[in-house]
Structure 1
């Protein structure tokens, strides 16, 4: 399943999300962790959180915020209504049919993502999410979230004085608004992520055009 995620990058929202932590040291000397979840296709930053630790509970809390945000933006009571389909392959390699596909949540192999706490997000008979970890020493496969962190730091955080965790939390959430609602993305045809993420199916098809890959 990991090979398919990276071989066939999605062009629709809620097919692949990426998540990770990034460290930031404030001028007061504290080192904080920024956790975020981003939608691969639309670049919409679904959630961001500033925490003193990078534990499984912190990662799970941010992922839970991301699900809530996606449902809020799309006006859904259950995000399962917006997920894609995947093929069911028989023993001879034949396609038997299509079934709903959980959203692939891609992370690195950090201990917070390997623990039992984070695993609870992918449990149950009809999971909304499935976990896909990148290969060891292959950070480029989680590149969308890494670019988000780079943009956050170089376009926003490094340009001011951030003294403590409260100030960092405020600036991170301020940047999320700029990133999602104001800052156009060349990869999205100069649209904003909120425009791409909230587009209807017909609008997605029209925007994709012949160069959607």
Structure 2
């Protein structure tokens, strides 16, 4: 007799963002692993979920991802973004009641993987004034932007999964990260680059593009009207 399939626990409603989140660049990050089997490595990426900037990548042995790797990549990304000094300052400074410094520096979003939600990870995040937001079990759409990052990377640069040298894979991922951030126009942020959105240039670029399209349409209408009147 075939055993009955175990009943899956309901995942419940999606947990909303905390009230203090303004959903601006530099405030909501996400992190996730993806396997590169030929190289025997898993890649851990951190992404700004608002600007879609791919902040950092860390390669680890396949299926050996640990909380220490999460700490390392966040330390590197915080330093890159100029936030590490603020996190370290808060560790030793007494915070005044009701001050803005009682708010976390940013929100770290992930799935419920053991290395993501371990007590060690939670303690480290809290020590660095980083809040955590964990998606529902079996519901990757709760952290869709970071999940889709790896899908885009592997679809657009399929040769990455054929690389069997870990050093070469690391170098190639870094090249693709720079291209992803500074060259590729991202549909999710109105066809600007993640670098543009992250640095605050995205809104102006989108505005100028809309104005250019309106002007081009007006010019076409004027041209057609003029030609029609000339012919008649």
Which has more strand, going by share of residues?
1
Residues 208 and 104 of structure 1: is their aligned pair in 2 closer, same or farther, counting only changes over 3 Å?
Answer: farther
C-alpha root-mean-square deviation of aligned residues, in Å? 3.1
- Unaligned segments of structure 2, at least 5 residues: 1-13, 89-97, 208-232
Q: 1:5 aligns with which of 17, 21, 25?
A: 17
Distance 1:9 1:140, change over 3 A: farther
1:110 to 106, 109, 113: 113
**Aligned CA distance change for structure 1 residues 31 and 196 (closer, same or farther; 3 Å):** same
CA contact (8 A) 2:182 2:195 kept: yes
Shift of 1:43: 0.2
Q: CA deviation at 1:113?
A: 1.2
Q: Which residue does 1:92 correspond to in 2?
A: none
Residue 78 of structure 1 corresponds to 86
Please identify which structure carries the higher helix content.
Answer: 2
Change (3 A) 1:154 1:208: closer
Q: C-alpha displacement at 1:122, in angstroms?
A: 1.9
Runs of 4+ off more than 6 Å: 6-9
Greater C-alpha radius of gyration: 2
With CA pairs under 8 Å and 6+ residues apart, which has the higher RCO, 1 or 2?
1
State TM-score, norm by structure 1: 0.73
Q: TM-score, normalised by structure 2?
A: 0.68
Match of 1:61 in 2: 72
State the number of aligned residues.
182
Is this contact kept in 1: 2:29–2:109, CA < 8 A?
A: yes
User: 2:48 aligns to what?
Assistant: 39
Structure 2 partner of 1:168: 169
| 1:121–1:188 Cα change, 3 Å | same
Aligned equivalent of 1:93: none
